[in-house]
Amino acid sequence: MSFNPEIIAVVVIAGVFCGFLNTVASSGSAISLPVLMSIGLHAAAANATNRVPVLVGALAATAGLARSGAIPWRRALIVAAPMTLGAALGALASEQLPGHDLRKIIVGAVIIALLLIFAKLKDLLNAAGDREVHLGVKQMSLLFLVGFWAGFIVLDSGTYILLVLVLASGLTLVEANAIKNFATLITTAVAMLIFAEHQSVDWTNGGIMALGSLVGGILGARVAISAQARRWIIGLLIVVVVGELVHLAVPIQWLDKRVIPAIDTFATVHIGTKPNVALGV
């Protein structure tokens, strides 16, 4: 695949947004996944390749948060354990699922995330540090399921981690967000190893996007430990999930007749190949 400056710029900028959103809130993959597919990657390859910028962004964010002392390591390791197991199984399952079935699953997950956020928005906003923290069997089971989703299709996994840690476990939103970044780093690394073993990762495109994600992760870590961190987390969560829902609500027929041919034309003219848009996320 040939590249030109415009394509490289789009991929890098998408990486910046991916890293920033994943660090501060969630759903950075709502930007990175469509861009990877628009430049010619098949749905399954885009899903696998997307783990490269997610991993680099999470690494940058975790390093920044660790330097500021924002990560409670004992709790972070406890949370990461069931999620890592789930992520490995999720990545294996993803390799077996046809690309056209992924959209249906994503639509359902985004709707559930949106409903949970708005139903529990007051609880999220009022989450304080005076509640007892519970990380028992119930919470571990929920985290395992979130890990499975993170390995399967990472989109919105950060939202689910925050919901479990704040609402079901009793952590503050800022502390939960710090743990989320560490857990994302570990689960993404495990999933990417599995995708790499199956030779599903496009390292060139993933590497270019990872450059932007590195910057986004660094910037996001600064925001995540700021005085306004909780407001940023809640605000971006709402914006990205609503944005995903609006995007997914666009009639499929309109996409097929207008958007997809436009992407095909753009890709053919600029990079000499037509994309596979089996997964419209």
pLDDT at 255 over 70: no
pLDDT for res 232: 78
d(CA 180, CA 15): 19
pLDDT for res 104: 67
Ramachandran sector of residue 13 (left: φ over 0; alpha: ψ -120 to 50; beta: rest): alpha
List phi, psi (to 5°) of 95. -65, -20
**DSSP letter (8 states) at residue 132:** P
pTM of the model: 0.78
For the chain, give every domain's residue range.
Answer: 5-271
Mean of the pLDDT values across residues 181-195? Answer: 94
pLDDT in tens, 165-187: 988 898 988 899 999 999 999 99
Measure Cα distances from 119 to 153, 163, 237, 244 in Å.
Answer: 24, 11, 13, 18
pLDDT in tens, 221-242: 998 888 777 777 777 777 776 7
